[in-house]
Chain A
Amino acid sequence: MSSALSANERVRNALSRALDVPGDTISDLPILHVTGACEAMIENHKGIQKFNSEELILYSSIGSIRITGKKLKILNINSHELILTGIIESVQYAP
Chain B
Amino acid sequence: MVRKAFSILLDNDVTLMISCTNIERLINLCVAEKIQMREIQRKDFTTVLLKIQSTDYKTLRTIARKVHARVKIMNRAGIHFWFAKLCRRIFFAAGFGIFILMLLFLSSRIWSIQIEGAKRVDPKLIIAELNKNGLHKGCVKSGLPLREIEKALVQKIDEISIVKIDYMGTTAIIHITERTLPSAVEDNITQSDVIASKSGIIEKLVVYKGIPLMKPGDYAKQGQTIVMGLVSDIGNPSNIFTHAKAAVTAKTWYETSINADYNYKFEQRTGRFKQQVYYEMGKYKLYVKKGNIDYQKYDKIETKSARESFGIKLPIHKVIEYYYEKKDTVKRLSFEEAYEYCMKKAIARLSRIVPANAILRNVKLYKKSDKKGVTVTMLYIMEENIGIEKTAN
Interface residues of A (CB under 8 A from B): 47-53, 72-79
Q: Is B370 located at the chain interface by the 8 A CB criterion?
A: no
Distance in angstroms from A25 CB to nearest chain B CB is 22
Decide if A73 touches B41 in the complex (CB within 8 Å).
yes
* Residues of A close to B42: CB separation below 8 A: 51-53, 72
**A78-B56 Cα distance, complex, nearest whole Å:** 13
Decide if A77 touches B32 in the complex (CB within 8 Å).
no
Distance in angstroms from A59 CB to nearest chain B CB is 9
Additional A-B contact list (11), CB under 8 Å, known A51-B24, A73-B40, A76-B36: A47-B28, A48-B24, A49-B24, A51-B42, A53-B42, A74-B37, A74-B39, A74-B40, A74-B41, A75-B39, A79-B32
* Residues of B close to A73: CB separation below 8 A: 39-41
Distance in angstroms from A71 CB to nearest chain B CB is 9
How many A-B contacts at CB < 8 Å in the complex?
Answer: 41
* Residues of A close to B31: CB separation below 8 A: 47, 77-79
**A51-B28 Cα distance, complex, nearest whole Å:** 11
Q: Is B307 located at the chain interface by the 8 A CB criterion?
A: no
**A70-B315 Cα distance, complex, nearest whole Å:** 77
Interface residues of B (CB under 8 A from A): 23-24, 27-28, 31-32, 34, 36-42, 45
Distance in angstroms from A50 CB to nearest chain B CB is 6
Tell me the nearest residue of chain B to A73, going by C-beta.
B41
Distance in angstroms from B15 CB to nearest chain A CB is 14
Decide if B27 touches A77 in the complex (CB within 8 Å).
yes
Decide if B41 touches A78 in the complex (CB within 8 Å).
no
Known: A78-B31, A79-B31. A51 touches B23 (CB 8 A): yes
Tell me the nearest residue of chain A to B37, going by C-beta.
A77
Distance in angstroms from A78 CB to nearest chain B CB is 6
**A16-B145 Cα distance, complex, nearest whole Å:** 77
* Residues of A close to B34: CB separation below 8 A: 78-79
* Residues of B close to A53: CB separation below 8 A: 41-42
**A79-B35 Cα distance, complex, nearest whole Å:** 9
**A47-B34 Cα distance, complex, nearest whole Å:** 13
Known: A78-B34, A79-B34. A48 touches B39 (CB 8 A): no
* Residues of B close to A75: CB separation below 8 A: 38-39
What are 21 A-B contacts with C-beta separation under 8 Å?
A48-B24, A48-B27, A48-B28, A49-B24, A51-B24, A51-B27, A51-B42, A52-B42, A52-B45, A73-B41, A74-B37, A74-B39, A74-B41, A75-B38, A75-B39, A76-B36, A76-B37, A77-B38, A78-B31, A79-B31, A79-B32
* Residues of B close to A77: CB separation below 8 A: 27, 31, 37-38, 40
**A75-B37 Cα distance, complex, nearest whole Å:** 8
Distance in angstroms from A11 CB to nearest chain B CB is 27
Decide if B36 touches A78 in the complex (CB within 8 Å).
yes
Distance in angstroms from A72 CB to nearest chain B CB is 8
**A53-B39 Cα distance, complex, nearest whole Å:** 12
**A48-B42 Cα distance, complex, nearest whole Å:** 13
**A13-B45 Cα distance, complex, nearest whole Å:** 40
The residue in B24, B27, B28, B45 that gathers the most chain A C-beta atoms within 10 A of its C-beta is: B24
Distance in angstroms from A49 CB to nearest chain B CB is 6
* Residues of A close to B24: CB separation below 8 A: 47-51
Tell me the nearest residue of chain A to B40, going by C-beta.
A74
